Amino acid sequence: MTAAAQDPGSRKEPYWVMVIDLQKCIGCDTCTVSCKAENRTPPGISYNVVMQMEIGEFPHTRRTYVPRPCMQCDRPPCVGVCPVGATYKGESGVVIIDDDRCIGCRYCIAACPYGARSFDFGENYDEMIAFTEVQAPEYGVEQGPRRKGEAPIGTVRKCTFCLHRINRGEEPACVETCIGDARYFGDLNDPDSAVAKLAASPRAFRLKEEMGTQPRVIYLK
């Protein structure tokens, strides 16, 4: 990330990836909470979740935690199925949803192999004062207050890799707040970056690689 920032002329766009070290993840859900705080997602919508998997038979069981943001696939199945082209791969490599165009058919939710997309049913945290007053600037676009009947209500939403934070040189909220430093974010094209070194590790794998979706989230076993 730093190299690209110092020498902006060398490449057009950084190849943003996220690396998640499962051995460092303790399943505390801080990423989920900070994501909700950052993106002010309503009830029922979590851009990031932490999945739990139990391995082995009682009493010899072990738990693995697998955080799941949007994979920002390079060959995203959700983009192909959208009838109106409201979701597309942006220049940043982030899969974008144009909530002014989305018709809310939810085909992309059915098509996402990672369950990473949510429909905004219009619910609110009504007990939270001023919850509707500010929305996160999704994909860098200011949304204004959350009003009944106005987008993104009635459309599909998902993790943006905190594009609004990337644009001002910050890491996604989940990466910054991870208490075990299990998450890394950076430019895979920069050979000196932490993510490039970690991605080369034999521990590296991606979810459902056999589907050919080419996810941009790399896990370390």
Partner 1 sequence: MSALTREKAALRLADEHPAPEPSKHLRAGWYALLAVLLIAGGAAIFHRTVNGLATTNLTSITPWGAWIAFYIYFVGLSAGAFLLSSLIYVFGMTRFERLGRMALLTALVAMIVALSFVLLDLGRMERALSALVYFNWLSPLAWEMRFYLIYILLLAAELWFAMRVDLVRRADRSRLARWLSFGSKSLDTARDHRMLRILGTIGVPIAIFGVHGGTGTIFAIVKARGMWFSALTPIVFIVSALVSGTALLALLYILRQKALKRPVDGGMVADLGRLLGAFLLVDLGLLFYEYLVPLLSMAPHDTGVMHLMMEGPYAWTFWILQLGIGMVAPAIILMTRLRESVPLTAVAALMVVVGIVGVRFNIVVPPLITPALEGLPAGQYFPSAVEWWSSAGIIAMGLLLFSLAADLLPVDEDVHVIGGTAHD
Does position 85 bind partner 1 by CB under 8 A? yes
Does position 199 bind partner 1 by CB under 8 A? no
Does position 44 bind partner 1 by CB under 8 A? yes
| Part of the chain binding partner 1 (CB under 8 A), chosen from 49-57, 139-147, 160-168, 176-184 | 49-57
**Which neighbouring-strand residues pair with 219?**
20, 205
37: Cβ contacts below 8 Å, ≥ 6 apart? 173
**Beta 16-21 vs 217-220: how paired, if at all?**
parallel
Burial class (CB in 10 A: 0-12, 13-18, 19+), 141: middle
Q: Report the site for partner 1 in 133-152 (rule: CB under 8 A).
A: 149, 151
Q: Is the peptide bond before 83 cis (omega within 30 degrees of 0)?
A: no
Does position 28 bind partner 1 by CB under 8 A? no
Query: Exactly one of 208, 209, 214, 221 binds partner 1 (CB under 8 A); which one?
Result: 208
Query: Exactly one of 13, 23, 37, 121 binds partner 1 (CB under 8 A); which one?
Result: 121
Distance of closest approach, residue 77 Cβ to partner 1, in angstroms: 6
Does position 115 bind partner 1 by CB under 8 A? yes
Q: Which two tokens stand for residue 33?
A: 């909470």
Number of amino acids touching partner 1 (CB under 8 A): 47
Q: What is d(CA 76, CA 111) in angstroms, rounded to the nearest whole number?
A: 9
Distance of closest approach, residue 155 Cβ to partner 1, in angstroms: 6
Query: Exactly one of 41, 72, 155, 193 binds partner 1 (CB under 8 A); which one?
Result: 155
Burial class (CB in 10 A: 0-12, 13-18, 19+), 143: middle
Are the beta carbons of 198 and 108 closer than 8 angstroms?
A: no
Does position 117 bind partner 1 by CB under 8 A? yes
129: Cβ contacts below 8 Å, ≥ 6 apart? none
Query: Exactly one of 5, 37, 103, 179 binds partner 1 (CB under 8 A); which one?
Result: 103
Residues in touch with partner 1 (CB under 8 A)? 44-45, 49, 51-53, 66, 68, 77, 79-86, 101-107, 109-115, 117-123, 149, 151, 153-156, 207-208, 211
